[in-house]
Amino acid sequence: MTSLNLPTANRTQTILNLSTPKNHVIRPESYNRTVYAAAHVVADPLADIDPWLEPAIDWDKTIEFREQLWSRGLGVAEAMDTAQRGMGLNWELSLELIKRSIAARNARGGGLIACGAGTDHLTPSPDVTIDDVIAAYEMQCEAVEAAGGRVILMASRALVACAKSPDDYKKVYRHILSQLKQPAILHWLGEMFDPALQGYWGADNHDTAMDTAVDIVTDNAAKIDGIKISLLSAEKEIKMRRRLPESVLMYTGDDFNYPDLIEGDEQGYSHALLGIFDAIAPAAAAALTALGEGRIDDYHNIFKPTVPLSRHIFKAPTRFYKTGIVFLAYLNGFQDHFTMISGQQSTRSALHLAELIRLADTAGALINPDLAASRAKSVFLTYGIEV
């Protein structure tokens, strides 16, 4: 049996015997929800750059990771915050990523993909106007659609900085949505993920902000496929879900409460666009198979142990969740190193990573325990800890 001697908060170490991997049954043809995994990028650790200042991507490994998501029937939400978009990954590389992913999807003959378009090339400042924000959105949306992608309309830091009222949000979204070739997915990313988005939709209070967001969705429903909200509140998501026009989907972005939100209730359910599905793709695919086949007990038995893992990965400061996502990808063999754009592998502690391993083991999220143990040992040695 493979084991690790993991550090604890009281400066001791405890043995963890790693579990046998679970044999997941995956049948994508059974899915009855539309599901995207927000996929991370694999950094290039051998690039001759200053990592805090310049991003570098290992394109082959990055595309290979998307291939395994598609092979499990999951869609790819491309160039989102999971990929460190606006947090190290600039627009130029984001567009290159979008083009390469769409080309890979086309080459394999299919696969669901939607791509983030925002204003992150526009630096917020007192001189930025609403018209500047519109022009920035137009440029990115046109680029995504020219590449053959569906737009995920990302929240804009520049819009938060220059908007004077909810009407400014309505003006921007109405203008951008009216020009798109196919319906977009809107994204309400909460301030817990990005503090610069505090007050989105023109209000700090989420209920007041929701009124504006629902107005925008209702007024532009024909141009909207759905909306993803990432507020880590099941109550707020359900409240908004019940207010949406019938034709508009709710995509959960709630990495704390996704099993119940996807299952739904007598009044509806959520589809999914989730960062945690990057890390637990096999379990997510098996749970979706069970849900589609009406095996509700199996659905919850598969998903339930993944929730503590997800809550740990996305714990405050939530914006650092990407470190846990990439750490699991390294442990599971989807990349050959634990290196991230902007050096963000350093944003979580050794104790955080140790607890992540414990929870991932319980969740059945370690695909190859021997490989995971070997790689964990190499990481903890960098902290001066022999496990």
- pLDDT tens digits, residue range 97-129? 999 999 999 999 999 999 999 999 999 888 999
254: left (phi over 0), alpha (psi -120 to 50) or beta: beta
How many structural domains are present in the chain? Answer: 2
Query: Percentage of residues in the chain with pLDDT exceeding 70?
Result: 100
Q: What is the distance between the alpha carbons of residues 203 and 168, in angstroms, rounded to a whole number?
A: 12
Please list the residues that pair with 64 across neighbouring strands.
none
* Spatial CB neighbours of 208, under 8 Å, sequence gap ≥ 6: none
| Pair 158, 271 in one domain | yes
**Which residue, 260, 282, 298, sits at the end of a domain?**
298
Helices (H) and strands (E) in the chain, counts: 15, 10
Q: What is the distance between the alpha carbons of residues 250 and 320, in angstroms, rounded to a whole number?
A: 25
| Pair 254, 339 in one domain | no
The string of pLDDT tens digits covering residues 294-341 is: 999 999 999 999 999 999 999 999 999 999 999 999 999 999 999 999
Question: In the 3-class helix/strand/coil scheme, how is 98-120 assigned residue by residue?
Answer: HHHHHHHHHHCCCCCEEEEECCC
The string of pLDDT tens digits covering residues 34-51 is: 999 999 999 999 999 999
Would 323 be classed as within a structural domain?
no
Would 236 be classed as within a structural domain?
yes
| Pair 349, 201 in one domain | no
| Pair 229, 100 in one domain | yes
268 φ, ψ to 5°? 140, 180
- Locate 337 and state its tokens: 């190193």
**Burial state string for 364-387 with b = 16 or more CB within 10 A and e = fewer than 16:** bbbbebeebbebbeebbeeeebeb
Task: Calculate the CA 195 to chain-centre distance.
Answer: 17
Q: What is residue 305's three-state secondary structure?
A: coil
| Pair 341, 359 in one domain | yes
Q: Which pLDDT score, from 0 to 100, does residue 257 have?
A: 98
Q: Cβ(141)–Cβ(108) under 8 Å?
A: no
| Pair 170, 182 in one domain | yes
Beta strands in 183-260 (DSSP E): 184-189, 224-230, 249-252
Domain boundaries, position 109: 23-298
| Pair 169, 136 in one domain | yes
| Pair 275, 348 in one domain | no
Q: Cβ(275)–Cβ(38) under 8 Å?
A: yes
